[in-house]
């Protein structure tokens, strides 16, 4: 355990002093950024000249670092990260439910299409009319059965979206 902690500390110290230039180039009218010069007229951007460790110097924030995170306690950091993880997990569950709704809708539509396909083969006589009525009833039963499931999934999605808004 002590060796892992020592190794992580050494890696952190070594990586905190690494600096790289960011080059800005225009190639075929498109502005690109790269770690190496991508054209003869490449210029070093301000990103590579900014202070690499704003927490120690507190001079100016670096792009991509949440300025509210600077100076927060470890507990606050853990709470912020836990909240972000909860939001991410909730959105993942919401997206899974949305995919589930699409899957159920596709199943319903496939069953209805199968019944409609049988409906086209009905003969035009009294027995055929009765059979066609029973197929129509089957379509309504399939629709109502799947609509209950779809509505339930949509309610769950709405509840999770409301929970996500509260976070």
What does the pLDDT look like over 93-126, one tens digit per residue? Answer: 999 999 999 999 999 999 888 888 876 666 665 5
Mean pLDDT of 51-65: 48
> 153 φ, ψ to 5°?
-65, -40
Mean pLDDT of 39-51: 66
With residue 44 as reference, give the H or E element that holds it. Answer: strand 43-44
Asked, for residue 10, whether it belongs to a domain, the answer is: no
Asked, for residue 98, whether it belongs to a domain, the answer is: yes
Report d(CA 61, CA 134) in Å as an integer. Answer: 71
Asked, for residue 112, whether it belongs to a domain, the answer is: yes
Residue-level pLDDT at 122: 61
More confident residue, 31 or 52: 31
List strands edge to edge, sheet with 23-27: 30-34, 23-27, 43-44
Report d(CA 3, CA 47) in Å as an integer. Answer: 35
Residue-level pLDDT at 15: 56
Asked, for residue 116, whether it belongs to a domain, the answer is: yes
pLDDT at 137 over 90: no
Asked, for residue 90, whether it belongs to a domain, the answer is: yes
Q: In this structure, are residues 51 and 59 in contact, taking their beta carbons and an 8 Å threshold? A: yes
With residue 36 as reference, give the H or E element that holds it. Answer: none
Asked, for residue 62, whether it belongs to a domain, the answer is: no
Retrieve residue 136's tokens: 């129509």
The range of the structural domain enclosing residue 113 comes to 75-166
Asked, for residue 27, whether it belongs to a domain, the answer is: no
Is this structure's pTM higher than 0.75?
A: no
Average confidence score pLDDT of the chain:
76
Asked, for residue 56, whether it belongs to a domain, the answer is: no
The total domain count for the chain is: 1
């Amino acid at each position: 355990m002590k060796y892992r902690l020592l190794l992580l500390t050494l890696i952190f110290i070594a990586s905190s002093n690494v600096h790289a230039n960011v080059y800005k180039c225009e190639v075929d009218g498109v502005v690109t950024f790269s770690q190496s010069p991508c054209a003869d007229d490449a210029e070093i951007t301000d990103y590579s000249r900014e202070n690499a460790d704003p927490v120690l110097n507190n001079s100016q924030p670096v792009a991509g670092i949440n300025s509210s995170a600077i100076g927060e306690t470890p507990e606050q950091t853990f709470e912020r990260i836990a909240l972000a993880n909860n939001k991410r997990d909730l959105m993942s569950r919401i997206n899974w439910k949305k995919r589930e709704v699409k899957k159920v809708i596709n199943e319903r539509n496939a069953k209805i299409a199968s019944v409609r396909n049988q409906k086209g083969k009905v003969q035009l006589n009294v027995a055929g009319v009765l059979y066609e009525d029973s197929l129509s009833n089957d379509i309504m039963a399939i629709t109502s059965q799947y609509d209950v499931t779809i509505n339930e999934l949509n309610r769950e999605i709405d509840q999770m979206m409301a929970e996500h808004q509260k976070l």
